[in-house]
């Protein structure tokens, strides 16, 4: 485990071991976000996100996690500062980034297949090609056999998977996920977490996810960025060193996993007590 305590939010001034070998796909420099001229949501955020890594944004409610994710997606403009993706400044959404919405953002009148293919449809990909690609990712997220169902016929977890299949189908480099497991029960959540680890291995994408769950962040992440209460600043960067190749239940019982959860909780509880 590698815990970097930051006296200021210049996070990448103290890279974790092994990080030097990875290049940054997203660079965040001096981001401030002030809503309505008075609510400072984010203050001087400086971060690099490494290609192929899964990073979680964790922190108390209202600390600016979703704000940061939306700025990275280009859905929200920062008040000052810059985000670069593959070295190019972000001015809006782009094809190299796909946002998986918390509320699924599925079209209720369209089938799973059409919903999963929707990003490709927007890009003008032919019907045959987009359905072929959508079928592949529907299978990859574990929804084979549900191609012709409608969103109301699916559980929350399944709808979330359709959103993920849609994001994967457009072949974005970066998948931005806002609390992807919040609307599902514990069993589904665990299964989905395991699937995400597997998918990450297959797809080699860069994943960024917002979560409220310390356990989830530790289980899934290569890096955890802990934000302080509003105004959100980078308080700590944690690099879990957990071997995720074994049995998921056994991983959740390892001392490394449990100690890290305790350590992060010890840091966070000062904010909530």
Binding footprint of ligand ATP on the chain (CB under 6 A): 35-36, 39, 41, 59, 61-67, 212, 230
Contact 237, 225 (CB under 8 A): yes
Is the alpha carbon torsion for 133, 135, 137, 139 positive or negative?
negative
Nearest to 135 by CA among 150, 122, 148: 148
CB of 41 to ligand ATP, least distance (A): 4
Identity of the residue, 61 or 254, whose beta carbon is nearer to ligand ATP in the bound complex: 61
Is the alpha carbon torsion for 216, 94, 163, 161 positive or negative?
negative
Count of C-beta atoms within a 10 Å radius of residue 186: 8
Identity of the residue, 97 or 114, whose beta carbon is nearer to ligand ATP in the bound complex: 97
Q: Distance of alpha carbon 91 from its chain centroid, rounded? A: 20
CB of 60 to ligand ATP, least distance (A): 7
CB of 194 to ligand ATP, least distance (A): 24
CB of 231 to ligand ATP, least distance (A): 8
Identity of the residue, 52 or 156, whose beta carbon is nearer to ligand ATP in the bound complex: 156
Identity of the residue, 64 or 119, whose beta carbon is nearer to ligand ATP in the bound complex: 64
Q: Distance of alpha carbon 239 from its chain centroid, rounded? A: 16
CB of 16 to ligand ATP, least distance (A): 23
Query: Which strands, in side-by-side order, build the sheet including 54-58?
Result: 2-5, 234-239, 223-227, 54-58, 206-211, 174-178, 97-100
Identity of the residue, 103 or 129, whose beta carbon is nearer to ligand ATP in the bound complex: 103
């Amino acid at each position: 485990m590698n815990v970097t305590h930051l006296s200021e939010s210049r996070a990448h001034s103290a890279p974790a071991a092994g990080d030097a070998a990875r290049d940054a796909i997203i660079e965040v420099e001096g981001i401030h976000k002030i809503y309505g001229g008075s609510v400072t949501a984010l203050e001087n955020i400086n971060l690099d996100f490494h290609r192929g890594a899964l990073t979680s944004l964790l922190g108390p409610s209202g600390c600016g996690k979703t704000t940061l994710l939306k700025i990275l997606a280009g859905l929200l403009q920062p008040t000052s500062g810059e985000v670069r993706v593959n070295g190019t400044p972000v001015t809006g959404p782009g094809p190299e980034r796909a946002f998986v919405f918390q509320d699924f953002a599925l079209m209720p009148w369209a089938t799973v297949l059409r919903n999963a293919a929707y990003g490709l449809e927007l890009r003008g990909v032919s019907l045959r090609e987009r359905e072929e690609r959508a079928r592949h990712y529907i299978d990859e997220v574990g929804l084979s056999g549900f191609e012709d169902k409608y969103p109301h016929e699916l559980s929350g977890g399944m709808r979330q998977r359709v959103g993920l299949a849609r994001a994967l189908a457009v072949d974005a480099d970066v998948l931005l996920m806002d609390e992807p497991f919040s609307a599902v029960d514990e069993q589904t959540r665990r299964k989905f977490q395991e699937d995400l680890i597997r998918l990450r291995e297959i797809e080699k994408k860069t994943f960024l996810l917002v979560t409220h769950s310390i356990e989830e962040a530790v289980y899934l992440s290569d890096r955890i960025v802990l934000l302080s209460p509003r105004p959100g600043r980078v308080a700590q960067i944690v690099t879990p060193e957990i071997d995720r190749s074994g049995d998921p239940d056994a991983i959740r019982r390892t001392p490394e996993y449990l100690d890290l959860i305790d350590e992060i909780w010890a840091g966070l509880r000062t904010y909530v007590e």
